[in-house]
Chains A and B, each alone.
Chain A
């Protein structure tokens, strides 16, 4: 295959992972283009989180190839794929400001840049920076968790159920930031069970079930030609699959 060609930001070919004799991922093949927000949908246990862990190099795989801009994932000099899990990863005894300082040293970004101030303002965190993180609400924690990753600017940002538990106002703020992020040469690959959110945010979707890719990169406009909503399309695909 022409896996090494760089027409896609991410190319995953025949990705297979076996755990305790069970195929968690079964020759999964999909692509993600630049400047796109792609939804990763499927039932619980379909292999979404495992795919994300493999892409962010937190776990290994048994077979297959992964290319980022035509370069093998394992040969990349810089971390180009970063994961944001559903449970915020934070040191809760730190204040928001201390956490950002810590992350700026870890990820090498400028803590005093106007960009970060703008982001804090937009996400409504500017006045809470001196509070310890354990006082933050879930939404605030998730927003704080997002900032360092956006400052690091990985080519591909993986959001694993990240948008669950976020109130509509915060969701709108995050949505604007993510859309802006995806317009600057980066892409976002997000898993969610909130189909209406996916329909509004994403350019296309990838459907996975039992470790197999059922639909690869179907655009939302294409879906709307065949079904009234993403929910209807999703239910149709899975009822056919089960049948």
Chain B
């Protein structure tokens, strides 16, 4: 659930940065940033992969005909699946944040902000998981584990993974990096960072959902 080598590599980098920081506030921001971005990204991806048999767009297999026969389209099926995906993860995040709140001297306002951003990030990163299924749906699998193994889907997933790890996630930390390096004052950082993150995550969510909707709202023939 908590990630593979890349996840722990990210933890290592963050820990290394923390070891060289004296400013307590900057340390806290670095930790919060990790919790909002990397931790949620890996949690969202792992949760999807582990429960792909229930969460994936195609997880009902040929039973998807139940929906199509009822006059619903694949966008309707996606909404059901995505909703289940999100509501099964939100309690985990709330419990995690509650533990952080109890064990650390973090303020209530900060923890509420953290939780809101994490839920937004969860939606944005979660929607990325569905793009390959929307473009290359495979309802013909025999076993749910096969859903990760279709070549066309794998290619899209690999591209999205690489983009997320090397472009999206690092670029989201730009205000924090500028703050740590002293290019932004604390007040500038407090103003810019939440707006930047909210716009970035909303934008990502909007684009992902738009792509999925445009693809799935069309009349599709899965036979």
Contacts and interface: CB of A to CB of B under 8 A. Distances in A.
Contacts of B5: none
A160 to B, nearest CB: 11
B72 A106 contact: yes
A59 B223 contact: yes
Interface stretch (A77-85, A173-181, A214-222): A77-85
A78 B70 CA distance: 10
Nearest to A83: B69
Interface in B43-80: 60, 62-63, 65-72
Interface string B179-223: 000000000000000000000000000000000000000010111
A214 to B, nearest CB: 25
Nearest to B80: A106
Contacts of A90: 63
Contact of A89 (B65, B71, B72): B65
Residue of B60, B72, B221 with most chain A CB atoms under a 10 A cut-off: B221
Contacts of A1: none
Nearest to B222: A58
B223 A53 contact: yes
A58 B65 contact: yes
A82 B69 contact: yes
B70 A107 contact: yes
B186 to A, nearest CB: 51
A45 interface: no
A57 interface: yes
Contact of A79 (B62, B66, B71, B221): B71
Contacts of B70: 79, 82, 103, 106-107, 152
A106 B67 contact: yes
A106 B66 contact: yes
A91 interface: yes
A56 interface: yes
A60 interface: yes
A82 B69 CA distance: 6
Contacts of B68: 57-58
A89 B69 contact: yes
Contacts of A107: 70
Interface string A59-88: 110000000000000000011001101000
B63 A89 contact: yes
Contacts of A91: 60, 63, 66
B65 A85 contact: yes
Contacts of A78: 71
A85 B221 CA distance: 16
Given A79-B70, A106-B70, A106-B72, A59 B65 contact: no
A58 B221 contact: yes
A236 B221 CA distance: 37
Contacts of A152: 70
Given A89-B65, A91-B63, A59 B72 contact: no
Nearest to B76: A106
Contacts of B66: 89, 91, 103, 106
Given A89-B63, A90-B63, A91-B63, A60 B69 contact: no
7 contacts: A53-B223, A57-B219, A58-B221, A59-B221, A59-B223, A83-B69, A89-B69
Which 10 residue pairs of A and B lie closest in terms of their CB atoms, listed nearest first? Answer: A79-B71, A59-B223, A59-B221, A106-B70, A89-B66, A60-B221, A107-B70, A89-B65, A89-B63, A82-B69
Interface of B: 60, 62-63, 65-72, 219, 221-223
Interface of A: 53, 56-60, 78-79, 82-83, 85, 89-91, 103, 106-107, 152
